[in-house]
Amino acid sequence: MDYLPAENRYQSMRYNRCGASGVKLPAVSLGLWHNFGDVDVFANGRTIARRAFDLGITHFDLANNYGPSPGSAEENFGLMMKKDFHPFRDEMIISSKAGYLMWPGPYGEWGSRKYLVASCDQSLKRMGLQYVDIFYSHRPDPDTPLEETLGALDFIVRSGRALYAGISSYDAGQTAQAAKILRDLGTPCLIHQPSYSMFNRWIEDGLTKTLGAEKMGCIVFSPLAQGMLSNKYLNGIPDGSRASKHTSLTADRLSPERVAQIRKLNEVAQRRGQSLAQMAVAWTLRDPVVTSSLIGASKVAHVEEAVGALAKPDFAAAELAEIEAILK
Ligand SMILES: NC(=O)c1ccc[n+]([C@@H]2O[C@H](COP(=O)([O-])OP(=O)(O)OC[C@H]3O[C@@H](n4cnc5c(N)ncnc54)[C@H](OP(=O)(O)O)[C@@H]3O)[C@@H](O)[C@H]2O)c1
């Protein structure tokens, strides 16, 4: 049956302006890093993506290597575009990236113009799209001049493959340089995509200040620390959870000290009338420099819970202080 999105999909989501650009992003966005590959059940990913769109999530984040196997998340998303979302393309912000290993040989990763342009073409083909809304340099390349990597992003935008350029995981200094290079080329850098959560606060050490000064948007990934900041691991590692799969989240990250911290944070969340996952999402959005919190989900309920965070976004000073004390 044809997909008909919820008519009320724009009624409750909050849309935040992305830096000084004309674009707004939903406060919660959905990433397809895990759970959308060819090892996963397509129908589950499709239900998650549909529910996300029904809840006002207009932004779907991909990368060349998402799967496994690499490329398969983009292929599956392409199928969803064809089956469900193609009438709504203009209501969506779809991003992809290149930076990590995608194909063998010297041109299959990092930041050369050769790799970025070829990878962007491959992503468009896999997703069946004429253009992506945002194309990112997925990581800084220590061996390629920034001018080359960012010149490639400028070319990708000017050639119509993408509407906007973005960078991911660049530090504060690299970000300031990238902003200047792209500004001088006439393709301002729309957005930075760094990791950020209560357990990973590196962006507070200079990057957020730079993003504010450069008037660049910021979409933070892994706001739940890959699920650690939820009630999932309070009593061990459940079967089927990300930590049980020994991929990007390893069980050793859930030390007894970490679990004790999670329990205390869970109590703060309960007192706020939120789940821990909701408090984790709300916490990443408390600095207005953060445009969107980029979650992952293995179930529809995860998306619903994350969006529910927006019902209670504010923190009392005492709550923030209590969280700080737990995180010390
Ligand atoms: N730019 C980059 O370098 C980079 C790197 C990583 C990620 N990203 C982007 O960020 C997106 C999100 O990353 P992420 O998946 O690590 O984000 P996350 O939101 O921190 O973790 C998502 C995972 O946490 C678990 N979870 C979510 N909601 C839950 C809930 N309410 N209760 C219990 N468990 C819950 C699920 O894992 P289970 O499987 O355990 O259910 C889910 O797949 C990615 O899809 C990608 O688009 C970008």
Q: What separation in angstroms does the CA of 319 have from each of 268, 322, 325?
A: 7, 5, 10
pLDDT exceeds cutoff 90 at 227 = yes
pLDDT value for 171: 98
Q: Would you call the peptide bond into 69 cis, given omega within 30 degrees of 0 as the criterion?
A: yes
Closest atom of ligand 1 to CA, residue 228: 24
**132 with 161: CB under 8 angstroms?**
yes
| DSSP letter assigned to residue 195 | B
pLDDT value for 213: 98
Query: Beta strands 28-31 and 24-26: pairing type?
Result: unpaired
**Section 135-161 average pLDDT:** 98
pLDDT value for 151: 98
DSSP string covering 92-121, please? -EEEEEE-S--SSSTTSSTT-HHHHHHHHH
- The predicted-structure confidence for 40-73, as pLDDT tens digits, reads as follows 999 999 999 999 999 999 999 999 999 999 999 9
pLDDT value for 191: 99
What is the token pair recorded at 249?
């989240």
pLDDT value for 1: 64
pLDDT exceeds cutoff 80 at 169 = yes
pLDDT value for 304: 98
Separation of CA 124 and ligand 1 centre (Å): 24
For 25, the enclosing helix (H) or strand (E) is: strand 24-26
Q: Which residues line ligand 1 (CB under 6 A)?
A: 31-35, 61, 138, 168-169, 193, 221-227, 230, 232, 241-242, 277, 294-298, 302, 305
Separation of CA 71 and ligand 1 centre (Å): 18
Domains located in the chain, CATH noted: 15-239+277-314 (3.20.20.100)
- Which residues pair with residue 87 across a beta bridge? none
Cα separation, 235 vs 46, in Å, equals 30
pLDDT exceeds cutoff 80 at 295 = yes
pLDDT value for 2: 87
- The predicted-structure confidence for 74-104, as pLDDT tens digits, reads as follows 999 999 999 999 999 999 999 999 999 999 9
pLDDT value for 246: 87
Computed from CA positions of residues 201, 204, 207, 212, in that sequence, does the dihedral angle turn out positive or negative? positive
| pTM for the predicted model, two decimal places | 0.98
Take atom 45 of ligand 1 and give the residue whose Cα is closest.
31
Cα separation, 3 vs 106, in Å, equals 42
Closest atom of ligand 1 to CA, residue 136: 1
